[in-house]
Chain A
Amino acid sequence: MKNRKTGYEAPLEKISPARKVLGFARDNTVPLMFILICAICIPLSGFSVNYLLAEIVTRISRNSFLILSLLIPIMAGMGLNFGMTLGAMAGEIGLILVSDWQIWGIPGMVLAMIISIPISIGLGVLCGKIMNMAKGREMITGYIMNYFINGIYQLIVLYAMGVVIPIIHSSIILPRGYGIRNTVSLLAMRQSLDNLIAIRINGVKIPVMTFVVIALLCLFIVWFRKTKLGQDMRAVGQDMEVARAAGINVERTRIISIVISTVLAGFGMIIYLQNMGNLSTYTAHSQIGMFCIAALLVGGASVDRATIGNVFLGVTLFHLMFIVAPSAGTALMGDSMIGEYFRVFVSYAVITLALIMYETKKRKASSKAARELALAQKLEEENK
């Protein structure tokens, strides 16, 4: 077997089926753990299959677009983009303005998306530039960037809107005359995309149009990977120095990946909120990055590798746990809050576990590569 880094051909070793299973389990610890949790919790929750299916379909349609927005930065080696929250904020600003202008339904969603584009691009460029200054520490940088931009978002929404940015409707503006209310109703566009083409199978509502939009994004990602820019991103993701030596503008490529992710996150947030039907002005975006990243990791993705399949498996397992945990908690302990605590704890735990596993794998791989290199050098010396 030829090692990609050393070029050294190691003798082929026969792997036993037991080791194969063990290797598969080690590589898919998080999804397997979640399958196990769900397998225990589903019977305890007492929910019918139809109810679970309906809930899962709704949540896949609501969250997939947001989670898919995380794939491109991973491709560019920038890890899990906690900065997607910036895009979510841009989407929310678009929705607030559109609600005040009374643009309803699908046109309202499209207009909110258009408004979010320049804001997302600006924030994405800022985020990308800062991440370029902190190479190798992109995730923590993105996470802290959220707090920084959240402060600016609050400044704009709480003080500038109604004073600098005209907001006229009393249902949106705070009674004091400026600032946006805690909750903005999106009733006029609630589920307008979901209901555009919707079919019912066995009582389960399938929002066909939302799935078409998600499918289009999947196709875009598949196509994008094959483009010159996509190939550049993969090269940058594999090795920045090699990519630079090959003539790729590494910094620019990384910024573009973050910009694309931020813009898509803005769109995703609008799709998410149209399904919910209301916008929690100051908190809707705060946990969205965390939950999307957790869902992606539950699907078997890692910091440096994620596929479209990981997104759908992750969103299914993660949200299945979300649905059944409170009822399972009630059945076990007589208190639904146990389930609530459990699912929050699991969200954070899965990110921690995935990060630990990623670091462990990386260290193992580098020490294995070093050992193989040493062996290759030794063999070379012996041959001389």
Chain B
Amino acid sequence: MKISRTTWFRIAAVAFILLLAGLMMIIGRGHTIYLDDKTLEKDGKTWQALYRIDASVAGSTQEPQTLYARERVLFTVMGQKATLHLQYMEAKGGDKVPVDVSIRIPYGMDGVIVNLPALLAGESQDVFLSEFITVPDVGDTSAEVVVTDEFAVTDI
């Protein structure tokens, strides 16, 4: 069976649209990065919180943020790669050390927690990165009344 030129064009158009959709799913996937300056204990090892860290994320429209020991800030990013610009001070009055680090965010995770002391200590991603799991709202299930049609037919 010979496939006409029109059919080829249609197949090409559908393939292009599917490819575009796939590309959009990859480049547009949004993640929330929670940066923690908290002491982390894992597998018997401890990474102490740092005195102060100035953080920003490349490509983000958000302003740089400062976090002190036991604090958390969040950034939103698109795509699976994020480059963090960090400037940390181990103790009060110490020198500021600038560091640029790139991390890969797993596609399936909406939010990730990045423990900065572990990251700056050069640990692997398995150590400093964990998934941020949102606790689902299990409150009153009748809390939201759905309004579908203000002109709905009622019993009159």
A interface residue numbers (CB < 8 A to B): 101-108, 110-111, 114-115, 117, 150, 154, 158, 169-170, 174-176, 179, 181-182, 188, 282-283, 286
Q: Which residues of B contact A114 (CB under 8 A)?
A: 17, 20-21, 24
Q: Are B146 and A103 in contact (CB under 8 A)?
A: no
Any A CB within 8 A of the CB of B29: yes
The residue from B28, B137, B148 contacting A170, defined by CB atoms under 8 A apart:
B137
Once A107-B24, A175-B141 are accepted as A-B contacts, the answer to whether A102 and B146 lie under 8 Å apart by CB is: no
**Distance in angstroms between the alpha carbons of A337 and B146 in the assembled complex:** 26
B142, chain A: closest CB distance, angstroms: 8
B interface residue numbers (CB < 8 A to A): 17, 20-21, 23-25, 27-31, 76, 78, 110, 134, 136-141, 143-144, 146-150
Residue of B nearest to A103 (CB): B28
**Distance in angstroms between the alpha carbons of A158 and B78 in the assembled complex:** 30
How many A-B contacts are there with CB distance less than 8 Å?
Answer: 77
Q: Are A102 and B110 in contact (CB under 8 A)?
A: yes
B31, chain A: closest CB distance, angstroms: 8
**Distance in angstroms between the alpha carbons of A110 and B23 in the assembled complex:** 10
A50, chain B: closest CB distance, angstroms: 26
Once A102-B110, A103-B30 are accepted as A-B contacts, the answer to whether A158 and B146 lie under 8 Å apart by CB is: yes
Q: Are A106 and B21 in contact (CB under 8 A)?
A: no
The residue from B20, B31, B137, B147 contacting A283, defined by CB atoms under 8 A apart:
B147
Residue of B nearest to A98 (CB): B28
Q: Which residues of B contact A286 (CB under 8 A)?
A: 149
The residue from B20, B28, B141, B143 contacting A105, defined by CB atoms under 8 A apart:
B28
**Distance in angstroms between the alpha carbons of A282 and B146 in the assembled complex:** 8
B78, chain A: closest CB distance, angstroms: 5
Q: Are A107 and B78 in contact (CB under 8 A)?
A: yes
The residue from B28, B76, B143 contacting A175, defined by CB atoms under 8 A apart:
B143
The residue from A104, A181, A182 contacting B28, defined by CB atoms under 8 A apart:
A104
**Distance in angstroms between the alpha carbons of A103 and B138 in the assembled complex:** 26
The residue from A102, A104, A169, A176 contacting B141, defined by CB atoms under 8 A apart:
A176
Known: A107-B28, A175-B143, A282-B148. 4 other contacts (CB 8 A): A108-B28, A150-B149, A170-B136, A283-B150
**Distance in angstroms between the alpha carbons of A283 and B27 in the assembled complex:** 31
- Judged by DSSP, the binding face of B is loop
Q: Are A107 and B139 in contact (CB under 8 A)?
A: no
Q: Are B144 and A104 in contact (CB under 8 A)?
A: no
**Distance in angstroms between the alpha carbons of A158 and B17 in the assembled complex:** 29
Q: Which residues of A contact B150 (CB under 8 A)?
A: 283
**Distance in angstroms between the alpha carbons of A103 and B107 in the assembled complex:** 11
Q: Which residues of A contact B141 (CB under 8 A)?
A: 174-176
Q: Are B78 and A105 in contact (CB under 8 A)?
A: yes
Q: Are B110 and A111 in contact (CB under 8 A)?
A: no
What are 7 A-B contacts defined by CB distance under 8 Å?
A101-B25, A101-B29, A104-B76, A107-B23, A108-B28, A175-B144, A286-B149
**Distance in angstroms between the alpha carbons of A179 and B142 in the assembled complex:** 13
Q: Are A103 and B140 in contact (CB under 8 A)?
A: no
Q: Which residues of B contact A158 (CB under 8 A)?
A: 146, 148
**Distance in angstroms between the alpha carbons of A102 and B27 in the assembled complex:** 11
**Distance in angstroms between the alpha carbons of A164 and B67 in the assembled complex:** 43
Once A170-B134, A176-B141 are accepted as A-B contacts, the answer to whether A111 and B28 lie under 8 Å apart by CB is: yes
Q: Which residues of A contact B134 (CB under 8 A)?
A: 170
Q: Which residues of B contact A104 (CB under 8 A)?
A: 28-30, 76, 78
Q: Are A110 and B137 in contact (CB under 8 A)?
A: no
**Distance in angstroms between the alpha carbons of A101 and B108 in the assembled complex:** 10
A104, chain B: closest CB distance, angstroms: 4
**Distance in angstroms between the alpha carbons of A16 and B78 in the assembled complex:** 66
Q: Which residues of A contact B137 (CB under 8 A)?
A: 170, 175
Q: Are B147 and A107 in contact (CB under 8 A)?
A: no
Q: Are A107 and B27 in contact (CB under 8 A)?
A: yes
Q: Are B146 and A174 in contact (CB under 8 A)?
A: yes
A152, chain B: closest CB distance, angstroms: 12
Q: Are A188 and B148 in contact (CB under 8 A)?
A: no
**Distance in angstroms between the alpha carbons of A170 and B144 in the assembled complex:** 13
Q: Are A282 and B17 in contact (CB under 8 A)?
A: no
**Distance in angstroms between the alpha carbons of A174 and B143 in the assembled complex:** 9
**Distance in angstroms between the alpha carbons of A114 and B14 in the assembled complex:** 10
The residue from A111, A150, A175 contacting B24, defined by CB atoms under 8 A apart:
A111
